[in-house]
């Protein structure tokens, strides 16, 4: 059985390992590269994502492919603004297939003095080591693209959510503005790998990034695939002309 790794065809059984290698190799420089490659814009996208989510205390959040915990920190900060006497704080479980990425996240949490309300779980988004119906919100930011079978991951999101729970995806998508899409292509396939070579010393990892973005389903298709796994009221919003998009859907 085969699947894709960027534009290469690889054995399905090998893809997760290859993705793990990519993120092992970039983990220490991951945050810096994110800022450089996106000109800091990924921070605004993540802010917009958590704005739309509007986190509250007393709920159980799961951030899958949570990496260095950018989303988890935003959720906790936002939820705790709404704390009042007698409310239970929000719980955020950060999960990632890659131990190195989670360790960077855990160190960042310690630096910020964040311990309460955070837990860390190594696991594959296709079969999370978590019980059925145990979470109120499932988020995945720039992660679904890396999963071998995204339909399995969407189905597993549905499984771990309680009825009334919400799934939210933040992912690169399709640029919907003519001409801007060509500019973006040049950036992705010419500039990115060069930045990868000179800054992260790993051209291949950043070539994979550009290719995996191109292979990911566009806005409407992703919405349909969420609906196909049972999510209801699926909606999306574009960010920066569709460079990224946010999708939401409910388990009812
Ligand atoms: N969510 C973080 C953010 O927005 O900064 C990290 C995004 S990073 C581009 C992608 C993450 O997906 C990596 O940390 C990687 O280890 C993780 N990942 C890749 N394949 C995965 C899988 N099958 N299950 C869970 N996480 C996975």
Q: Is 30 in the pocket of ligand 1 (CB under 6 A)?
A: no
Q: What angle do CA 49, 58, 63 make, to 5 degrees?
A: 40
Number of domains in the chain: 1
Q: What is the pLDDT of residue 56?
A: 96
Q: What is the pTM of this model?
A: 0.93
In a domain, 58, yes or no: yes
* Nearest Cα to Cα of residue 30 among 199, 211, 154: 199
Indicate whether 213 pLDDT > 80. yes
Mean pLDDT of all residues belonging to the chain: 92
Residue nearest to atom 26 of ligand 1 (CA): 65
Distance 67 CA to ligand 1 centre (A): 5
The alpha carbon of 96 and the centre of ligand 1 are apart by a number of angstroms equal to 6
Question: Residue 63 sits in which domain range?
Answer: 43-174+219-251
Is there a domain that residue 5 lies in? no
| Predicted pLDDT of residue 30 | 78
Q: Rounded to the nearest whole angstrom, what is the distance from the C-alpha of residue 19 to the centroid of ligand 1?
A: 9
Query: Which CATH number fits the domain that encloses residue 139?
Result: 3.40.50.150
pLDDT of residue 131: 98
Band of pLDDT at residue 217, cut at 50, 70 and 90:
very high
Interval 52-107: pLDDT, tens:
999 999 999 999 999 999 999 999 999 989 888 888 999 999 999 999 999 999 99
Percent of the chain with pLDDT over 70: 100
Can you tell me the distance from the alpha carbon of 136 to that of 167, in angstroms, rounded to the nearest whole number?
Answer: 9
- What ipTM was estimated for this complex? 0.99
pLDDT tens digits for 148-189?
Answer: 999 999 999 999 999 999 999 999 999 999 889 999 999 999
Query: Does ligand 1 lie within 6 Å of residue 105's CB atom?
Result: no
Cα(83)–Cα(66) distance, integer angstroms: 24
In a domain, 181, yes or no: no
> Phi then psi for 110, rounded to 5 degrees?
-65, -40
């Amino acid at each position: 059985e085969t699947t894709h790794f960027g534009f290469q065809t690889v054995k399905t059984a090998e893809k997760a390992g290859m993705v793990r290698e990519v993120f092992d190799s970039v983990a220490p420089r991951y945050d810096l590269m994110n800022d450089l490659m996106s000109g800091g814009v990924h921070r605004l996208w993540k802010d917009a994502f958590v704005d739309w989510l509007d986190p509250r205390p007393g709920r159980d959040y799961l951030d899958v492919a949570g990496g260095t915990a950018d989303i988890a920190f935003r959720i906790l900060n936002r939820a705790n603004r709404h704390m009042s006497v007698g409310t239970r704080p929000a719980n955020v479980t950060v999960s990632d297939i890659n131990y190195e990425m989670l360790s960077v996240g855990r160190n960042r949490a310690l630096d910020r003095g964040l311990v309460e309300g955070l837990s860390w779980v190594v696991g594959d988004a296709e079969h999370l080591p978590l019980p059925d119906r145990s979470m109120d919100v499932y988020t995945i930011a720039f992660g679904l693209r890396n999963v071998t079978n995204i339909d399995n991951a969407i189905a597993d999101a549905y499984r771990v959510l309680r009825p009334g729970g919400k799934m939210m995806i933040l992912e690169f998508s399709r640029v919907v503005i003519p001409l801007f899409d060509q500019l973006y292509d040049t950036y992705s396939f010419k500039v990115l790998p060069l930045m990868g070579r000179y800054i992260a010393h790993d051209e291949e990892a950043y070539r994979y990034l550009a290719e995996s973005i191109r292979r990911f389903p566009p806005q409407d298709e992703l919405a349909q695939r969420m609906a196909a796994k049972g999510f209801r009221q699926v909606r999306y919003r574009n960010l920066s002309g569709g460079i990224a998009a946010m999708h939401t859907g409910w388990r009812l």
